[in-house]
Amino acid sequence: MATVRNTIEDIPLEEMVALAQQGDESVQNYLLQQYQPFIAKCVSEVCKRYIDPKRDDEFSIGLSAFNESIKTYSEDRGTSFLTFATLVIKRKVIDYIRYMKKGPSSVSLDETYDEEQMENPMEYSVVKDQYEREQDSWYRRQEILDFSKKLSSYKLSLKELTKVSPKHKDSRDTAVRIARMIYDDVQLREFVKEKKKLPIKELSKQVEVSKKTLERNRKFILAIFIVLDEDYVYLQDYLKGVGC
């Protein structure tokens, strides 16, 4: 056993990561064991306290994040593995703290890590921006997947929306405004959520558009209503200032 450990120790870190990605479990386990002090240090910098690997849940989050770093790291990122792992660990621990508090956290990535501690602060900045973009992209994809499922419950689809979306800005703004009005009205909102359709007759009494127009834009209005009714951070961002 000692011979294997000595052999592993002679391998450069980035090469060890590559071996672990290729399925070498002995190297992966070695990394997870040997870098526990590094993980604890990263977690401690976020939590602002001593971290006990055997007792603190935050360490488990950090260990899982380090393992994720092993799986997802690429030298093409232009940064070292430990720099990348640092960002992944800190982001995951921050997300965990926010989740446990069930509200916005006052902790930010910039507050938890001093760039001057890095050997190359510019490298830190580059990998930080890159990782945040990748995280944003991942969350955006998850929103779209969930949105697609919600659409199907209304017998709608993303492909269909591209065909029925109003072509003119004024028409889109009007449709979004109607969706907002439905969402803000408790009775109308509950009707749509229960029946999975628009109350055309009731709406025609409250808006200055014809039944024909409501019918033509029905699917688009329903889609916007779904976005308003769900906790979609990215999709709702597209609606800011529209139909207000």
Give the separation between CA 32 and CA 64, rounded to whole angstroms.
9
- Report the candidate in 112, 110, 124, 35 with the shortest Cα–Cα distance to residue 77: 124
Residue 149 included in any domain? no
Provide, rounded to the nearest whole percent, the portion of the chain with pLDDT above 90: 39
> In this structure, are 132 and 202 located in the same domain?
no
Q: What is the pLDDT of residues 117-165, one digit of tens each?
A: 445 556 656 666 666 676 667 767 878 888 998 999 999 999 999 888 9
> In this structure, are 161 and 137 located in the same domain?
no
Residue 18 included in any domain? no
pLDDT at site 15: 92
- Domain count along the chain: 2
Residue 214 has which token pair? 């409501």
> What per-residue string of b and e applies to 71-105 under the rule 16 or more CB within 10 Å gives b?
eebeeebebbbbbbbbbbbbbbbbebbeeeeeeee
Q: How many CA atoms lie within 13 A of 230 on its CB side?
A: 22
> In this structure, are 166 and 202 located in the same domain?
yes
> In this structure, are 117 and 158 located in the same domain?
no
Residue 6 included in any domain? no
Print the domain residue range for 107.
35-142
- Residue 29 has a CB neighbour count (10 Å cut-off) of 12
Q: Could you tell me which residue, 84 or 106, shows the higher pLDDT?
A: 84
> In this structure, are 166 and 87 located in the same domain?
no
> pLDDT band at 242, cuts 50/70/90?
low
Residue 212 has which token pair? 């024909």
> In this structure, are 100 and 159 located in the same domain?
no
> In this structure, are 178 and 138 located in the same domain?
no
Residue 120 included in any domain? yes
> In this structure, are 177 and 135 located in the same domain?
no
Domain final position from 142, 166, 199: 142
Q: Among 23-32, 89-98, 177-186, where is mean pLDDT lowest?
A: 89-98
Flag whether pLDDT at 200 surpasses 70: yes
